[in-house]
Structure 1
């Protein structure tokens, strides 16, 4: 797995990093759900009805799951950890819309221990992209971030993966350029050749499209 090390600008990241914002919002929602479930449990137990006890058990389970998510999220939402754990991947701007910019990224969704790699195209719509020109073909170095709410997978592939631009973690254009240079030209060219697939990828439920290994360049096989 290719990693990219740099000093994260926390102030900048807190202001623009949409992945971090989403994880923080998840924690708030989880805490709210847990609170409501606990309140409902108390009310149901006080009802003295058999059906109330059964529903109270369900509410306890909901509260336990919500609390687990709330405790899990801060561990995953450390900005430095997100960049440290993610593999460096290429992404390119495919189009700009009134409400944001669409990125197409090339990621390996296979588990590190898998016997073979599993390359896929994924898309992500972002609101801001500092340090980059919002023009089709703009090369955007990023890291792959797993957004699963639990450590689950299907076979040897992770199901929920998104791309987090390096530019969301630094204002330094030299860092962005260094990250861009560490990605092979083969990968950049593969993305450029598949820009037309972005719309198709966006229509999928998981916003990703697995690539046929037989049609990949030898360096990615």
Structure 2
């Protein structure tokens, strides 16, 4: 797996990294929901009826589960330093632009480490900002692939949840961005640019990803996985 080591600007990441923002919003909403459920459970307990005790117990359990999510989510994702250090460096490009953001299209091998055969997919992500980049179609946006499963019991050969996280969300240094672009094989950039036109199709696909037929892959990418 190709990784890219660079000093993460944590203050910058906290302000612009949308992956961290998603986790924060999930955590806050889980806490708010837990408080509301706990309040409902307390009210039902005060009613002092047999049926209200049953509902009270149900709401109390739901409140605990919601509170658990608020603790589990940040640990599941890990720190921003860990994410960038342990995730594969992948190519992404601005594929669509909007008045308040853009869509980036990434080329990611979504096969799990124990799988010998590559499963390259086109993956999209809507973004609000890309510091250090221009919001123009074809702009190269080096990223890392954040990969996970919805369930620990998954036996699939591929990751269920895949999302590109731009290097630009972790540093202000444009030299780092240029170095990351150069660290990605030109073959990958060429293949990605060739597929920019299918961005909308990928957005409409399940999990915002579309598998590439192995016969459409350059020989170099197949050899890399075999190595």
Decide: shared fold, TM above 0.5: yes
- Quote the residue 2:147 is aligned against: 146
Tell me what 2:210 maps to: 209
How far did 1:85 drift? Answer: 2.4
Match of 1:24 in 2: 24
Cα distance in structure 1, aligned partners of 2:155 and 2:193: 29
2:225 is matched with which residue?
A: none
Alpha-carbon deviation of 1:220? 2.2
Greater mean deviation of Cα atoms: 28-37 or 74-83: 74-83
Q: How many residues align?
A: 221
Helix, strand or coil: the match of 1:116? Answer: coil
Matches within 5 A, 1:1-221: 1-75=1-75, 76=77, 78-146=79-147, 151=152, 153=154, 155-221=156-222
CA RMSD of aligned residues (A): 2.0
- Counterpart CA distance in 2 for 1:149 and 1:26 is 15
Quote the Cα distance in structure 1 between the aligned partners of 2:150 and 2:42.
27
Q: Deviations over 1:139-192 (max 9, x none)?
A: 110011136665464612222211110011111111111111111111111101
SS at match of 1:130: coil
Residue ranges of structure 1 left out of the alignment (5+ in a row): none
Q: Once the two structures are superposed, what CA deviation does each residue of 1:1-28 show, in whole Å capped at 9, x if it has no partner? A: 2211110011211121111111111111
Please report the TM-score for the alignment, with normalisation by the length of structure 2: 0.88
